[in-house]
């Protein structure tokens, strides 16, 4: 799903030689999610099929640091997308909000650059913390001791837990504020349009953006809850709750990207055209 978004936007970028602000955000978001899920898949492959590879320095640290970088980027860029929708579509007479609406297109590249730099910083920090903890606590060759030591090491990861918790909470608050402001703007706009029986383009844009943010808010809430459960059960290896949490966390980037496809006319049209071509080829066979 994320690879599809990447391909469509990159092809459009090559043809038009430019991307609008919304496409820039979607491109970086799809790229972050693609690599996050890809690296997670590699980690699961190693841990289940080649577990001793994780004992080779610094494979485990690199995988965890890379996952942190792309997951952090995923969270911040998705929050930026919600804020972008809110600023672009909501109507307020506040001077600061009007300034943001006029400058948001110029601010988007800097926001995305800041998200990438911050994600790199967090990923490097996580890599160093894990590397230090492993060097101090891991002195074994037995695989059974590996998981015991991992549990023991995770108990020393409270700074990482605090940092990731702050990251999730901050991005979640940004999504909440964007949804509330957009909902309030829609309510005010509908009050003004009560005398007019026809829907205008602004109302339709409000409703379309509100649906997208509402779906994202629900999914983000589930993902945030799963993150809290992950922190609570993080030291209990092979716990059924942890399995459910990881299932939710890894399903979220794909499902939300699918919603983004159907909320974007260009992506939806391309996907339906591809599906219709595939259907025709299958019928011909």
Q: pLDDT digits over 221-262, tens only?
A: 777 777 777 766 665 555 677 777 778 878 888 888 888 888
For residue range 92-137, what is the model confidence (pLDDT) as tens digits? 777 888 888 888 889 999 999 998 998 898 888 888 877 777 776 6
Mean pLDDT, the chain, whole residue set:
78
Radius of gyration for the chain, computed over Cα atoms and rounded to the nearest angstrom: 22
For residue range 141-172, what is the model confidence (pLDDT) as tens digits? 444 444 444 444 455 566 667 777 777 788 88
Whole-structure pTM value: 0.83
- CB-CB contact of 171 with 75 (8 Å): yes
Tokens of 71: 């997951």
Give phi and psi for 100, each to the nearest 5.
-65, -40
Domains of the chain, residue spans: 1-195+202-267
- Topology adopted by domain 1-195+202-267: Rhopdopsin 7-helix transmembrane proteins (1.20.1070)
Q: Which of 40, 4, 9, 35 has the alpha carbon at shortest distance from 24? A: 9
Q: Looking at residue 149, what is its pLDDT? A: 46
For residue range 191-201, what is the model confidence (pLDDT) as tens digits? 666 555 545 55
Q: Looking at residue 87, what is its pLDDT? A: 86
Q: pLDDT > 90: what percent of the chain?
A: 13
């Amino acid at each position: 799903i994320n690879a599809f978004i990447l391909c469509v936007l990159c092809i459009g970028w090559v043809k038009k030689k430019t991307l609008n602000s919304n496409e820039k955000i979607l491109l970086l978001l799809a790229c972050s999610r693609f690599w996050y899920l890809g690296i997670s898949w590699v980690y699961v492959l190693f841990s289940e099929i080649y577990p001793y590879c994780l004992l080779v320095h610094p494979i485990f640290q690199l995988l965890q640091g890379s996952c942190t970088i792309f997951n952090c980027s995923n969270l911040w860029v998705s929050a930026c997308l919600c804020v972008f929708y809110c600023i672009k579509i909501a109507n307020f007479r506040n001077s600061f909000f009007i300034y943001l609406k006029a400058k948001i297109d110029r601010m988007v590249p800097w926001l995305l650059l800041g998200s990438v730099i911050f994600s790199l910083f967090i990923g490097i920090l996580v890599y160093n913390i894990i590397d230090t903890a492993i060097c101090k606590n891991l002195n074994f060759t037995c695989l059974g001791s590996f998981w015991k030591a991992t549990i023991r090491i995770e108990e020393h990861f409270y700074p990482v837990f605090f940092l990731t918790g702050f990251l999730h909470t901050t991005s979640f608050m940004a999504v909440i504020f964007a949804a509330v402001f957009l909902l309030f703007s829609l309510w005010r706009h509908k009050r003004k349009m009560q005398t007019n029986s026809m829907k205008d383009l602004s109302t339709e844009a409000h409703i379309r953006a509100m649906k997208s943010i509402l779906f994202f808010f629900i999914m983000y809430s589930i993902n945030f809850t799963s993150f809290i459960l992950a922190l609570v059960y993080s030291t209990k290896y092979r716990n059924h709750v942890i399995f459910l949490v990881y299932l939710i966390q890894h399903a979220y980037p794909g499902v939300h990207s699918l919603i983004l496809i159907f909320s974007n006319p260009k992506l939806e049209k391309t996907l339906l055209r591809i599906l219709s071509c595939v259907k025709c080829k299958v019928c011909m066979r």
